[in-house]
Structure 1
């Protein structure tokens, strides 16, 4: 598994912040398919380092345009409401219900040796996952 990204320019006023509009791509090669039955429709659940912690139960959802953080991850990272920035666009849950996000936060995410900044939308609903990584 690999993460690729466009070059990032750092701003002197905000070090280590990725510029908006940078495409992140989580990709797999043919050798990643070895030992799997193809075609498959199983959920892709991975462990990623988010905010400096190894987070299990992160699902990859190519049908989602957003990166979502659920309450378990929010609590484990000891985030406070004041850490969030406003996010005013409602989302639609898997059940088709409207969900109002609590806010948004940018956190470092690492896969392998690559570290990228990801804007997670924090929502307060139950999920068996800690986060959803959507498409770029």
Structure 2
């Protein structure tokens, strides 16, 4: 199990009315973000404080060309909101970078790779949020966390969250934004 980084001396994580800037409020939107996963810029990632696992959509995994040979066995099934069992294709540990330099943090994250209709590329759940020492605020659509150089933050993408939600209501996992998964390597 990863060790949570303590706050650096004198660091305080706080949210205020300033953190609402740029949001349409009030709202009931999910926190949907872009992150760097294994040197790829990946969008449509839902931060879910109710999920006990991190999930990665098989289609996203295949687009990144990480290789099925890198998938380890997953000895268990997971259960969705409806209580139905979801078959896990495997699991993989990948580095995930939160924030922007110099206020960023990278943590190794274990993802369960699933092949189900999914409007998100991935779900970041409680295990990673714990490892990050992250504070998540749904009203502010923001995540804040301690780094060696100060408090990092990630703002949710409100319009993308709404598009993903609308697509999930239609039962479609069709792309809801024009984006590609891009390698961060030169």
Where on the TM-score scale, by shorter chain, does this alignment land: which range? 0.7 to 0.9
Secondary structure of 1:102's aligned partner: strand
- Larger helix proportion of the pair: 2
Distance in 1 of aligned mates of 2:50 and 2:14: 17
Give the structure-1-normalised TM-score: 0.73
C-alpha distance 41-117 of structure 1, shift in aligned 2 (>3 A): same
Q: How do 1:1-136 and structure 2 match up within 5 A?
A: 20-23=1-4, 29-30=15-16, 31-36=18-23, 37-38=25-26, 40-112=27-99, 113-136=104-127
- 8 Å contact from structure 2 (residues 55, 123) kept in 1: yes
**2:177 alignment partner in structure 1:** none
Q: Which runs of 4+ in 1 moved over 4 A?
A: none
Structure 1 residue 95 displacement after superposition? 3.4
Paired positions, count: 114
Structure 2: tracts of 5 or more residues without a match: 6-12, 128-186
Give the structure-2-normalised TM-score: 0.55
Distance in 1 of aligned mates of 2:110 and 2:32: 19
Deviation readout 1:27-70 (Å, 9 max, x if unpaired): 873343334325x4211111111111111100011110111000
